[in-house]
Homo-oligomer: A and B are copies of this chain.
């Protein structure tokens, strides 16, 4: 019998979780399917693989990453820890709760480098077009090898869409924006605060990007940062130099006018106006059509496309939980593809989805959202052998984190949390976040050591 073939689109945290899930089964002696993972970037890591490029990449494909310099985790690392690969195992020592991007990227890679999953991945390869044959129950995927400019077809029994949903900007039009003389960009193209030093910056939006880019630009020397919100302000205690105003109505050259009748002159505009779920390689009957949402419609257990459950979406939810959520999803998906987990009927799946959607509609506060996603994670943990972790305790940490941010948006990253995987308490970082302008792994991990080494050297020198 021909081996089951599995196609995975994307080698970011979700795609890698899927590869890792199969590796775990293989290590336990199971016969695992044949896997092909394609990745349009030249390296794995998805969003965590920083690129200086904007717009399109080397081969003219839209840039995947929305990552920028000086990005530090905006939630405690204890809330995203892999339960089968702890921070302790990776770093061999406690680290702080809010590491910068290079440190988190290192951690993601650590787990997968232990396995041979790189061999499954075809880099610089993108999916052009997918079709599904009802009779054979197989997907045909047209792949494009960007390096050699060659298209070819592959057949799969299951298709995992793990291409992320923070890559395609949503960018509304505001009257007069075409005549705004300064730089206008979406957060997707933001690569760091440096160009905004001494500038008056207008940020449109009130979600994570707006908050984080605004605070980063403040930290790195923007003169003023104005955040303009559509419905509700972020509403934390902003420091001097950052303020929130109602929605922009229009521009008159470099003057922005707001709903409350005020107006101000700006040097640059960054739109933190969210992202679109976009799957250009899928025919529309296979496309997940959703806004950014804790429970996208039509996905049973948040992953199985209800009209065609051989089509599996990973990580398509709005996210409190991240790496550990992708893991719990990937383990369940793996068990389904390996025949270890059976799906109920389409009608029963629909009923279950509706139950979650109804619940989702009742949520009000950030705490409600946390509880909802915690319940979802538990629902997944119950049906696979992904190592259990204390979801309730993670939920509590998320709520503390929300409170920390409310209290002081500039210092919440100096707080520490305790791992639910190892029980280890995070270290206080050697430098307060507001004073730390260097986000390199070297500086983060070895600052103390090198200062000691340095003082040793100085002592020797001074003899």
Contacts and interface: CB of A to CB of B under 8 A. Distances in A.
Interface in A263-307: 268, 276, 278, 280-281, 283-284, 287, 289
Interface stretch (A114-122, A180-188, A375-383, A453-461): A180-188
A418 to B, nearest CB: 35
Contacts of A188: 55
A169 B151 CA distance: 21
A410 to B, nearest CB: 22
A56 B52 contact: no
Interface stretch (A142-150, A236-244, A343-351, A386-394): A142-150
B129 A142 contact: yes
Nearest to A282: B151
A169 B60 contact: yes
Nearest to A61: B280
Chain copies in the assembled complex: 2
Contacts of A128: 128-129, 280-281
Counting contact residues on chain A (CB < 8 A from B), the size range is 35 or more
A55 B189 contact: yes
Most chain B CB neighbours (cut-off 10 Å) among A54, A62, A177, A289: A54
A168 B284 CA distance: 26
Interface in A18-69: 50, 52-56, 58-63
Contacts of A142: 129, 283
B169 A287 contact: no
Contacts of A186: 55
Nearest to A194: B181
A195 interface: yes
B168 A182 contact: no
